[in-house]
A = this chain, B = another copy of it.
């Protein structure tokens, strides 16, 4: 349902203490966007909003006349139905957070509003999507690139905001959005818990013991950074320092530790330019990723 436009007061950053306008269908969205002040900033999310999302919204609020948040758990980017079913959802809480952060418009479509009848199009990004998460989760980035292309096509924001915690996703989306001329992608710093754990919707699945153990991710990345800061240029020595730090935590089941070129994500032998140090580690059935740039 479309509320009264007067209730939204878009265009006045920070001035909207009321609830955001919530729309569901493509048609409602088009009608609302036709009267939305520009520039428009979009924060695409899968819901279960946390402090990381709040920081994206705050950045969008500072730069936009209208701030839109999309909430859509995209079935096409999950490798298994179990992983999809397990993804946490709480729309009422998400809407309250959006209201607190001064969001003007929340777009919370159903699957049929995102994927029209007969949907049969895929958007694929090449080299930067192949290693790391691309290798570990076949089809994942095609699902991500496709749904973000749809969201950007429907909302047509000037800028879209993504967090650096999902470093490879950020690069895949930025490549796609530049190549298809859809929007400017704004990378935003990872927000962390006091013990360094990166904010993630998946953290909710950690048991208290696993949650405590997961702090090792940031410690391990910092150990790698310290080696680099001490003058180490051999990439494998830095990866080994990260793996050694992870090995101190018995609950950490390491999937990969990568030190790659920051732009191409090709694994490095020698660190002689901007580099991305990243890892994927399982704690029980919960798979977490994190990264730092060197």
Contact = CB atoms under 8 A, between A and B. Distances in A.
A143 to B, nearest CB: 13
Contact of A150 (B121, B122, B175, B180): B180
Interface in A97-141: 115-116, 118-128
Nearest to A142: B124
Contact of A120 (B122, B179, B181): B179
A228 B60 CA distance: 60
Interface string A184-206: 00000000000000000000000
A145 interface: yes
A154 interface: yes
Given A180-B149, A180-B150, A181-B26, A120 B126 contact: yes
A178 interface: yes
A178 B124 contact: no
B123 A180 contact: yes
A62 B286 CA distance: 58
B120 A150 contact: no
A153 interface: yes
A267 to B, nearest CB: 18
Given A150-B180, A150-B181, A182-B153, A121 B125 contact: yes
A181 B155 CA distance: 9
A176 interface: yes
B128 A176 contact: no
Contacts of A182: 153
A156 interface: yes
A118 to B, nearest CB: 7
Contacts of A175: 118, 120-121
B126 A154 contact: no
Nearest to A156: B156
A85 B26 CA distance: 42
Given A116-B178, A121-B175, 20 more contacts: A115-B179, A118-B175, A120-B125, A120-B126, A120-B128, A120-B175, A120-B179, A121-B123, A121-B124, A121-B176, A122-B124, A122-B126, A123-B124, A149-B180, A150-B179, A150-B180, A153-B153, A153-B182, A154-B181, A156-B156
20 contacts: A116-B179, A118-B175, A119-B179, A120-B126, A120-B127, A120-B128, A120-B175, A121-B124, A121-B125, A121-B175, A121-B176, A121-B179, A123-B123, A123-B124, A124-B124, A150-B181, A153-B153, A153-B180, A153-B181, A154-B181
